[in-house]
Amino acid sequence: MKTKDIFRCAACGAQSPRWQGQCPSCKEWNTLESITVNKKRASSVNAAAAQDRPQPLEDLHSEQYSTRTSGMESLDELLGSGLVPGAAILLGGEPGIGKSTLLLQLAGSQAKLGHTAVYLSGEESLPQLRGRAERLDLLGPGLLAMASNKVEDALAVLDAPNPPELLIVDSVQTLASPLADGIPGSVSQVRAVSGELVEKTKKTGTTLILVGHVTKDGQIAGPKLLEHMVDTVLYLEGDRKHFSRILRVLKNRFGPSDELVVFTMKEKGLEVVADPATFFLGARDPSLSGTAMALAVDGQRPFAVEVQALVCKSFLTIPRRTALGFDTNRLNLLLAVLEKRLRLNLSGHDIYAKITGGLAYKDPGLDLAVVAAIMSSFYDQPLPESAVFWGEIDLNGQVRPVAAHDVRLKQADRLGHDPICHSGTAGTLADLQRVLFGKRN
């Protein structure tokens, strides 16, 4: 069995991975003593040998694992049916996007429902947490909080005679375990901390939510193993300069993995957008040229979004091509198709295209709307006021059908759009050009 040396305070019993002159817990001087421990606790090994034995699945009672509501109906639908006892959830997102606010609201909702929720913060002090909870009007007897950077404190909460129904750890990169080397946030520490917490919550039935930092590429920091260890991976995304936020499911063992919830940031925290179908349109003026409405599908939800394009004469040697909200390479491809199939002279023009609302999509169904917006700006003619577009453009200028066609069509009918332009109504770009602008090649 591998061993390692740690330092224990003779006055209060607190442990530290390295020697210090002053105990970080009780502030006494010269009380840390070196002791040798096994890297794997013998008690946990004995407990596993005594309890973790194969059992017949038919003898297990499903009532012991019944879900409970989170207090947010949209979040229950996102997770499948609510919070599952013993489940481990990982929430990622950029700094300042609203992860702590959302989880504090969730903890407050659990407290109002009569459950006990513990919010463990390794980044903020208790006065800071209280100030935020007071601003969000969440203070109550069932909402508990603690500030610590040691995983032993979180394990002690789970080992209590009455463990909480919900434990939130914000964040997993700030906790340190004496069973691993390295500083908090390192690969070894994240693996050890998450492994201990997930193993303990599976036995106690507490729902665990871990907050994960992200890298500059938008990936959750730490080993990829972390995403495999948990049951559900959520990601909160959005532009901090806009008020909208999207909570997306990347992995879910208890429900669908392609759902999302749209929030808007208010003074009292994040509020669910009841009908996000037209939320991202904003104050759209259809009488202007260069704007087209598209029905994009994200997960299983159709969203009506506005695509804008600006085509203007260029004075540069190489005309500028800029795309916001979708891939620039896709914009260049669509422009090449327009020049080849419709003989539009776009080589001397700067072309800008964007999706309003701060959204970013990879839906190929946006192709037709992007092309319609570009032609509208090129001819300086507005599109029909209630027109809506979706369809993929191939290299031959054909409009191809895309996924979730029936879902988009049903949503377009519900919103009263007419005309509806897709692969069934506009077979080629030439057809689209003739119907919308009365022009031929």
Residue 39 half-sphere exposure, CB side, CA atoms within 13 Å? 10
Report the DSSP beta bridge partners of residue 265.
270
C-alpha to C-alpha distance for 301 and 277, rounded to whole angstroms: 8
Q: Are 144 and 117 a contacting pair, CB within 8 Å? A: yes
DSSP H or E run through 411: helix 405-415
Q: Are 261 and 75 in contact (CB under 8 A)?
A: yes
CA distance 232 to 209: 9
SS3 134: helix
Cα–Cα distance, 378 to 344 (Å, whole number): 9
Residue 94 marked ligand-binding: yes
Q: Which two tokens stand for residue 431?
A: 């057809």
96 is in an annotated binding site: yes
Report whether 80 belongs to an annotated binding site.
no
Does 199 carry a binding-site annotation?
no
Quote the distance between the C-alpha of residue 130 and its chain's center: 25
Amino acid residing at 260? L
- 220 labelled binding-site residue: no
Selection from 228, 218, 254 nearest residue 75 by Cα: 254
- The answer to whether the annotation marks 98 as part of a ligand binding site is yes
Give Rg (Cα) of the chain. Answer: 27
Cα separation of 189 and 175, whole Å?
Answer: 8
Preceding peptide of 419 cis, ω within 30°: yes
Residues 414, 275 contacting (CB under 8 angstroms) = no
- Which residue ranges make up the annotated binding site? 93-100
Binding residues for ATP are 93-100
